[in-house]
Structure 1
Amino acid sequence: MPVLPGAEPFRHEGGPVGVLLCHGFTGSPQSLRPWADFLAERGLTVSLPLLPGHGTRWQDMQLTGWQDWYAEVDRELRVLAERCSQVFVFGLSMGGALTLRLAAKHGDAVSGVVIVNPANKVHGLMAHALPVVRHLARSTKGVADDIALEGGAEVGYDRVPLHAAHSLRQFFRLVDSELPQVTQPVLLLHSPQDHVVPAADSARILSRISSTDVTETLLERSYHVATLDHDAERIFQDSYDFIGRLAPGAGKEKETASGG
């Protein structure tokens, strides 16, 4: 299947500090592309992969599960680690859960974590019904496009494949059990008005990780896909400053001549 316009993966070869960005469930790299561009323009090496089953049609996602999505970002992290002196991992929503598992599993190979509206649990009655319902129905309504900014749009599926949702629920349980293994510096940014992931997920993550260098920031003007919303520039700049604090000299400021 052809990839949806805008959903293509992105890579940029920059300096010795690398950043891996992980998009969300039923979403695509498009939701993080402005963030990736911002970092690339400042001299960082950037990888923004397309997760298996994403970016084409929701039916393709029915054939994938969390092991596939995690394997993709794990592979990308290993590639970055081979060519970069330090690697940071960023994630949105389910991408936040992928990010946290990478941090838990790879230890010192991950220098820091930035997560935006990270998901930790499948909520509601549907969560408990998934083991059975997924055999009775193929999909339910989608969760894309939760954006406050007028005209903001996310390239994602308008349906949630239920087999994949069941796998996601299993993945969240696994990651939750591994959160105490996360010791890296963490910047967590979340929206009080999020119609996809409740604030309880961020609170749960902060209460479970073992990191001592933790910054929590509220994105008051944005909904779930905050990387495409009113607070996007703040996310981009705060994450770049976070890298600069932990990897002095990382990247370089965009040249004034290029519109900086």
Structure 2
Amino acid sequence: METNRVRVSRKASSGSDRRPAGRRYGQANRSAQWMVDTLAPRGVIGVMTPAMNTVVQPELEMLRPKGVTNQMQRFRLGGERISEDLIEEARKLMDCNPAAIAVGLTADAGPGAVTRLALRCRELADAVGVPVRNASEANHAALSTLGARRVAVVTPFTADVDRIVQANVEEAGFEVVAIKGTEAPSLPAICETPLGDIRNVFHDVAGSDCDAVLQIGTALPVVALIDELERETGRPIVACNAAVYWQTLRTSGIADRIAGFGRLLAEH
């Protein structure tokens, strides 16, 4: 696999804009209260993902800048509150001292669920004391950063669910001009979607009069395709896993421009 090509920003690498990541020691180490993580001198990023999702972890590793590590914790989906064990699992993750947490989840497939996810993440941030970002809101931030208002949408879902997705995206202030899903038969099956099928759906919707193509569903493997899809379609691609990692890095004061994964990470 080709190594990431990363241009390190002076601000992020100098450490002048934020305290170096470090592990707080107790009474026995008063003389060295803050110690820098050897493998993550620039910061630890906490990542939370649904237990069944096998895509978030490897995709975020593809994007990881030098001097940063991603540390994972999984949670089970369910209920109106997104996950009853989310805060409990996040507290375990806090033992490795993350600068911020990326929640690898989009909630666009449920009526009103994007708002519920946002509220849940605010509860989580209050509970653990670090910023928490989620993939649904990160998608909206990425589209706004790219200046996109008219969007085509790719999902892993069927047409019935796509109508709910469209309503959620439009509620966030964007116009959906095309939407199509890969029609995975179950949530675990989303992770098994062939890359060729994903490419075909992107090409189908990118022919519309859109400013960008937005991808919903963090279990759909898209990150490795972003660069070539942008070249082939001429459209910016907002892939949800790339968007939530981008927003979490920027929240953590890490401003590297990461080439090879589309305009969002390379230019913003």
Return the TM-score normalized by structure 1: 0.41
The structure that has the greater radius of gyration is 2
Return the TM-score normalized by structure 2: 0.40
Q: More strand per residue: 1 or 2?
A: 2
